[in-house]
Amino acid sequence: MSAPAPNPVVAPDHVLALLDRLHKESLTQENALPSTYLASGGFDDLMRDKFIALDQDKCQFVYQLARATGARNIVEIGTSFGVSTIYLALAVGSNLDRLGGEGKVVATEKEHTKAEKARQYWQEAGNDLVTRHIDLREGDLLETLTKDIPQIDLILLDIWAPVALPALKLLEPKLRSGGVVILDNSISSATRYKELLEHLRSPKNGYTNLTLPYSKGLEMSVKL
């Protein structure tokens, strides 16, 4: 029998169990969505009670990346119920313990009910481990991210397509040299992210790009 796949996430059992539970709930919801949901009207209404969490293997990759790069300041574009945020907060907490200094995960969610639920899950994970490393900005991120953004090590773009490029452009002046941008669904949603992918891949914008072969694709771009 082969060994289970390794999990890089260093956290107490109750946090690992919480993450497993939330990913399962998210997948159950996604599997019940109509196949046409991306094109359906009332998209925000449909998504208001849905996790749409970043896949577990992608979350583990982003966690590992944040640990490897010693990321202290991360901006999460699209928080929903805060599943990927838990991974980012754990990574930032470990990096601050190891390297010292200050840092935060700036999280963003426009739906108040989703933000409330995210806070509950973070509390369940633990204030010391997770909540205290998160600065949740509630409201439209094109307004909430206009001030008090530190120099950024890592940006996670996990958001509806129309707002992805404007969000990145807003944050780019704060993205450090060597900073990383991760974009979910860069293969399955390549058409919807056309302008964003063109921006990331245009030589004049100074990124190196790699499409990681996760399900539906995960773009990793490094600002040089």
How does DSSP classify residue 87?
A: H
Smaller CB separation from ligand SAM, 75 or 83: 83
Instruction: Tell me the Cα Rg of the chain.
Output: 17
Enumerate binding residues for ligand SAM (CB under 6 A): 51-54, 78-81, 83-84, 108-111, 114, 140-141, 158-160, 163
Q: Which residue has the tokens 């369940």?
A: 124
CB of 159 to ligand SAM, least distance (A): 5
CB of 54 to ligand SAM, least distance (A): 4
Query: What is the total residue count of the chain?
Result: 224
Amino acid at 30: E
CB of 155 to ligand SAM, least distance (A): 12
CB of 160 to ligand SAM, least distance (A): 5
Smaller CB separation from ligand SAM, 175 or 183: 183
Strand partners, 180: 154, 222
In 3-state terms, what secondary structure has residue 88? Answer: helix
Smaller CB separation from ligand SAM, 183 or 202: 183
